[in-house]
């Protein structure tokens, strides 16, 4: 297979999964977990990221189809011939995934054009943005290793994969939004709002991590049949690396909760706590992006190929 096709596939997957996760999570956390006034202030602060994210996701969704045609066919020549486009769309799981993601992308694009100061309009706009982004996240489970099982194992695997993706998006995207919480609530008079926002993200993080760990174990057992700690091939080596990165993220999250977050309630330590938490959040977010990159790469590899 043409190396450029694989490179295009991995790059497109990475952009879809990383931007999709950041986009969905940065909206999900404030809308569902923050007090109304704080959520509105935060959404205004992060609104500048919405349009760029929508366009990146929409373009990547459009590019997914020709890339899949090239993967399923004999490279880029089949893309330009056009003979495989319709069969790929209508007869493959990749085609179904693309249809779902296209619906999501269209919802994102159309809802992003809503411009009104009406709170009701803005409320529906945010709901539609969450819906569109959510459909793109759901589409990931219709491709790759989630499709390797049939029957009840296939259903369990796909449901587990969906939970895994949404939990990861809630955590990584929520971290991105939390960073901006510190920017908009860093004043002394907002200290109680800031503490509550951190506490609520901590609860979201605990639930997300629990789902990630449980669904990750289920997915691994359904794919490999055993724990992945080993270097038998590239897939297992990268999966092991991903698990170690997630473990580092969990360690940082525990440190944030146990050591740094309590500093926010102490006036003498508050500013130092804010600075330390912002640095820790950026580090944790960086690890999260590396995890998504690893998934984009080993997600197209054969789990059982003995290439080591």
Question: What pLDDT, on the 0 to 100 scale, is given for residue 188?
Answer: 59
Instruction: State the Cα angle at 212 between 8 and 249, rounded to 5°.
Output: 80
Q: Is 188 exposed, middle or buried (0-12, 13-18, 19+ CB in 10 A)?
A: exposed
* Cβ neighbours around 138 below 10 Å, total: 18
Question: What pLDDT, on the 0 to 100 scale, is given for residue 274?
Answer: 87
Question: What pLDDT, on the 0 to 100 scale, is given for residue 153?
Answer: 83
Residues 6+ apart with CB under 8 A from 122: 114, 116
* Cβ neighbours around 111 below 10 Å, total: 19
Say what the pTM is. 0.92
Q: Are 303 and 145 in contact (CB under 8 A)?
A: yes
Structure tokens at 19: 């931007």
C-alpha dihedral, 117 to 121 to 125 to 128, nearest 10°: 180
Question: What pLDDT, on the 0 to 100 scale, is given for residue 1?
Answer: 58
> CA of 215: how far to CAs of 146, 221, 287, in Å?
12, 10, 19
Question: What pLDDT, on the 0 to 100 scale, is given for residue 115?
Answer: 66
Q: Are 23 and 52 in contact (CB under 8 A)?
A: no
Place of tokens 């297992």: 236
Helix axes of 119-139 and 151-184: crossing angle, nearest 10 degrees: 140
Question: What pLDDT, on the 0 to 100 scale, is given for residue 122?
Answer: 79
Question: What pLDDT, on the 0 to 100 scale, is given for residue 306?
Answer: 54
Q: Are 183 and 45 in contact (CB under 8 A)?
A: yes
Distance between terminal CA atoms of the chain?
Answer: 20
φ/ψ (deg, to 5) at 122: -65, -35
Instruction: List the chain pLDDT tens, one digit each, 308 residues.
Output: 578 999 999 999 999 999 999 999 999 999 999 988 889 889 989 999 999 999 999 999 999 999 999 998 888 988 888 789 999 999 999 999 999 999 999 999 999 887 666 677 778 889 999 999 999 999 998 887 767 767 788 889 999 999 999 999 999 999 999 999 988 887 756 788 888 999 999 999 999 999 999 999 999 888 887 776 667 788 888 888 999 999 999 999 999 888 888 888 787 677 888 889 999 999 999 999 999 999 999 888 878 765 54
Rounded to whole angstroms, the Cα distance separating 61 from 101 reads 6
Rounded to whole angstroms, the Cα distance separating 308 from 254 reads 35
Question: What pLDDT, on the 0 to 100 scale, is given for residue 308?
Answer: 40
H-run or E-run covering 252: helix 234-255
Question: What pLDDT, on the 0 to 100 scale, is given for residue 189?
Answer: 67
Residues 6+ apart with CB under 8 A from 102: 61, 62
Nearest to 4 by CA among 69, 75, 57: 75
């Amino acid at each position: 297979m043409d190396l450029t096709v694989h490179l295009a596939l991995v790059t497109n997957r990475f952009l879809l999964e990383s931007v999709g996760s950041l986009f969905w999570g940065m909206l999900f956390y404030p809308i569902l977990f923050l007090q109304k006034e704080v959520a509105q202030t935060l959404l205004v602060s992060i609104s500048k990221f919405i349009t760029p994210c929508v366009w990146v996701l929409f373009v990547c969704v459009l590019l997914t189809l020709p890339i899949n045609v090239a993967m399923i066919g004999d490279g880029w020549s089949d893309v330009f011939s056009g003979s495989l486009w319709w069969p790929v769309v209508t007869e493959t799981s990749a085609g179904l995934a693309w249809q779902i993601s296209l619906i999501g992308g269209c919802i994102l694009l159309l809802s992003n054009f809503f411009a009104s100061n009406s709170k009701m309009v803005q409320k529906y706009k945010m709901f539609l943005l969450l819906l569109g982004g959510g459909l793109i996240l759901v589409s990931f489970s219709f491709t790759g290793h989630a499709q390797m099982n049939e029957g009840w194992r296939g259903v369990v695997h796909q449901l587990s994969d969906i939970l895994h993706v949404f939990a990861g998006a809630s955590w990584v995207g929520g971290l991105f939004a939390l960073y901006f919480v510190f920017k908009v609530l860093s004043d002394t008079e907002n200290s109680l709002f800031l503490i509550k926002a951190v506490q609520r993200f901590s609860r979201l993080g605990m639930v997300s991590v629990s789902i990630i760990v449980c669904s990750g174990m289920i997915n691994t057992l359904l794919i490999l049949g055993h724990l992945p700690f080993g270097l038998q091939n590239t897939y297992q080596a990268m999966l092991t690396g991903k698990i170690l990165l997630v473990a580092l993220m969990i360690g940082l999250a525990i440190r944030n909760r146990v050591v740094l977050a309590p500093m926010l309630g102490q006036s003498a330590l508050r500013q130092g706590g804010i600075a330390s938490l912002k640095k820790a959040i950026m580090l944790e977010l960086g690890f999260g992006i590396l995890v998504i990159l690893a998934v984009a790469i080993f997600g197209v590899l054969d789990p059982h190929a003995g290439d080591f």
